[in-house]
Structure 1
């Protein structure tokens, strides 16, 4: 019962962003990412579950592959405010919960082509702190998108603080389209949103994570002896990652299932972690109440 109580308290989750009245999706910065940005002023509650093949944090992954599952809950108001909560569990470990995220923010749309959001996110981890995201605990996120008709440009600014402080700029170019014909019913359809992204920022979180997990890194021969996290300038602003993502979603008026493939190219890798090119698979299902 206490786990049920925890879940009920998490009726606070990411952003419900919609492409039209029949099509509502969730956005979550790292766990649940379903892709669309048009805002409808409608009170709603979304509950979703997702699977990821590895936990990535601003273009960086930890020394071990950490597949995960998560439960996300979102509440949106007609005024554009939202609150959210998320529970993440790593697959293959005995811990029941590895991370809890809480936050809220505001969605705005000053014109038909321009939309955005600003939010605050709080990350809470168990004592193991396995994933690289555990090197920080707070995130202020500011996202702005402009639709050029032929494609959409998005710029996201993140300021993270806690045990380490970092600043990130994420640039992406995407093209959303959907099927015109119905699939099984009069209201379902497929949607696609191929996206190219680049992340610039500092990486002090790499140093913090490396120092906290030095014994683990040495044990699996990933720690660079003689050139540890003190020997590099992790506070320098640099390009961190390039990626290509292809999400494909099956949509109905009340629920969506999305499968996405992402190919990641980390660059300027510094400190104790040996990141390399990696493919990611994410599966997400959510149900919308409104």
Structure 2
């Protein structure tokens, strides 16, 4: 834990120092997408997307059973760097038409060719019968900074969740964008591969809130039998929550992208009643860009 904390501290100061070296403002990434592939657009645009996932995961934690889902996204991006978005999530196999609606907005900035970032606010609105673990949160303020070293990109992301529970997260990521110089079907298409290694630090009060307030509490007998759930631990402790490797592979055309992403997750310091273990996750995303 000491070594991870030192690595996070050094990375944060390195990003800040390099940002200060070249303070010129140049907005480059002005499009927000739900997919993980880096896309560079310098025009006013609207993107519409749909995504499938084999299980809902939230800051390295999942619910007691798998919840495959689909999401739809509509995002407006302005040339200035401002963006607004709306998203709907449906857990497959259950009655509500939508389990979750997200509304938010933010701002992209770029100080130079290497350092960029964004700040955004998202409001989560859930159906009363929503089962996903994210349903214990109501608001998220997200602050992301990235530094491109050419051989890799370092990102530090801070999230502050508040509402029914209060939590703070830091996600440290090292990624490498790979773009082969050959086409697939035409001169206008190309592949991108963006593997990354990520570490999530944070508190997990949202787990305690979810465990006590959602349907999970109503199924304790069937999950644990007569033994009952494990004793609650200190969910407010800031600690490493998750290590994961993610490999998104995208097929890109000028106006649309199809992306498949694989994630291998290693949860640690799992507290409260969740019994999360090593697991694999798969997402398939399609989005279309109007500009």
1:177-256 alignment to 2 at 5 Å? 177-213=178-214, 214-221=217-224, 225=228, 227-229=230-232, 232-256=233-257
Give the CA deviation at 1:118.
Answer: 0.1
Partner of 2:269: 268
TM-superposition CA deviations, 1:110-162 (whole Å, max 9, x none): 11000000000000110112000001100000000000000000000000001
Runs of 4+ more than 2 Å apart: 24-27, 32-35, 216-229
Q: Which has the higher helix share?
A: 2
Per mean C-alpha deviation after superposition, the further-off stretch among 99-108 and 208-217 is: 208-217
What are the within-5 Å matches in structure 2 for residues 159-170 of structure 1?
Answer: 159-170=160-171
Q: Give the distance between the partners of 1:259 and 1:69, measured in 2 at CA.
A: 14
Mark the CA change 1:18 to 1:111 in structure 2 (over 3 Å): closer, same or farther.
closer
Q: Distance in 2 between matches of 1:91 and 1:207?
A: 24
TM-aligned CA distance change 1:165 to 1:60, over 3 Å: same
Please give the TM-score of this superposition, normalised by the length of structure 1.
Answer: 0.87
What CA distance in whole angstroms lies between the structure 2 residues aligned with 1:225 and 1:159?
A: 32
Quick check: which one's strand share is greater?
1
Distance 2:208 2:142 in 1: 22
TM-score under structure 2 length normalisation: 0.86
1:13-52 mapped onto 2 (5 Å cutoff):
26-27=32-33, 32-36=34-38, 40-52=41-53
Structure 1's unaligned 5+ residue stretches are 1-16
Count, aligned residues: 263
Structure 2: 5+ residue stretches without partners = 1-26
Supply the RMSD in Å over aligned alpha carbons: 1.9
CA distance 1:223–1:57, change in 2 (3 Å): farther
- 2: CA distance, partners of 1:256 / 1:18: 19
